Structures are given as structure tokens and as C-alpha cells.
């Protein structure tokens, strides 16, 4: 995934991160997960793999967007994600998904389809 694709797919990522080399590496390294990642509904009762990928990989970038974490900290976290994945991809993936991950996102009562 390119940086352009990342920012198009996830407009919640703050634009001031666009030229950060770590973000380009993040997009490249996590390409296959980011392509299926999607934000869960606010009323979801069970998350699918794409929801978990979004929450674990894109979610921290959204925290930065809201000013809940400084830029240096989010870039450090992105770097750590990349390093963890490169050291042990299987374990990293295992930690992204809980053992009881749902096959599809389940929304709670009154939430719609």
C-alpha cells in the first residue's frame, strides 16, 4: 500500500503525518492488513478481523488526530509495530486478533444491519 492509498482509505489519519518516512514504511509493511481493515460501528457487539486490524493499527493514529497523544509518541509506536512485525510476524499477527474473533462484525440490537 502506498502512502496515497493509506490516506485515501483512512481519512482519519492526520495529514501532517503524510511525509513521515515511518508512515510510508507502515503502509508498505502492513499492506495486507490495512487493505481489509475497517472501522467498527459504534454499536458493534462483536468485531471481525478487519475491525481488529483497524483498531490496533489505525486507531492509534486516530488518537493523535484528536490530540490525545503527541506526534513523537505515535511515530515511536508505529516504529515499534514495524519492528515487532519484522522480528516475529506470526506472533505480531497473533496479538492483533483475539482467539474468538468473529467471522463478521455483529451489531447490537437497534443498530441496523
**pLDDT tens digits, residue range 1-14?**
999 999 999 999 99
**pLDDT tens digits, residue range 47-74?**
778 888 998 999 999 889 988 889 999 9
Count of Cβ atoms closer than 10 Å to residue 91 Cβ: 11
Whether residue 112 is contained in a domain is answered as: no
Count of Cβ atoms closer than 10 Å to residue 98 Cβ: 11
Whether residue 107 is contained in a domain is answered as: no
Whether residue 111 is contained in a domain is answered as: no
Count of Cβ atoms closer than 10 Å to residue 67 Cβ: 8
pTM above 0.75, yes or no: yes
Tally of domains in the chain: 1
Confidence of residue 81 (pLDDT cuts 50, 70, 90): very high
The pLDDT, as a whole number, for residue 67 is 85
Q: What is the mean pLDDT of residues 102-113?
A: 68
Q: How far, in Å, CA of 77 to CA of 97, rounded?
A: 18
The pLDDT, as a whole number, for residue 112 is 64
The pLDDT, as a whole number, for residue 26 is 98
Q: How far, in Å, CA of 12 to CA of 53, rounded?
A: 15
Q: How far, in Å, CA of 57 to CA of 112, rounded?
A: 26
Whether residue 92 is contained in a domain is answered as: yes
Answer yes or no: are the C-beta atoms of 45 and 38 closer than 8 Å: no
Whether residue 80 is contained in a domain is answered as: yes
Count of Cβ atoms closer than 10 Å to residue 17 Cβ: 21
Whether residue 88 is contained in a domain is answered as: yes
Q: How far apart are the first and last CA of the chain?
A: 30
Amino acid at each position: 500500500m502506498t502512502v496515497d492509498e493509506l490516506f485515501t482509505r483512512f481519512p482519519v489519519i492526520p495529514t501532517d503525518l503524510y511525509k513521515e518516512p515511518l508512515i510510508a514504511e507502515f503502509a508498505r509493511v502492513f499492506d495486507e492488513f490495512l487493505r481489509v481493515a475497517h472501522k467498527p460501528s459504534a454499536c458493534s457487539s462483536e468485531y471481525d478481523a478487519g475491525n481488529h486490524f483497524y483498531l490496533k493499527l489505525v486507531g492509534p493514529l486516530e488518537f493523535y488526530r484528536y490530540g490525545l497523544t503527541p506526534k513523537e509518541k505515535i511515530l515511536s509506536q508505529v516504529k515499534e509495530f514495524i519492528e515487532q512485525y519484522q522480528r516475529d510476524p506470526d506472533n505480531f499477527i497473533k496479538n492483533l486478533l483475539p482467539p474468538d474473533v468473529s467471522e463478521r462484525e455483529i451489531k447490537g440490537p437497534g443498530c441496523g444491519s
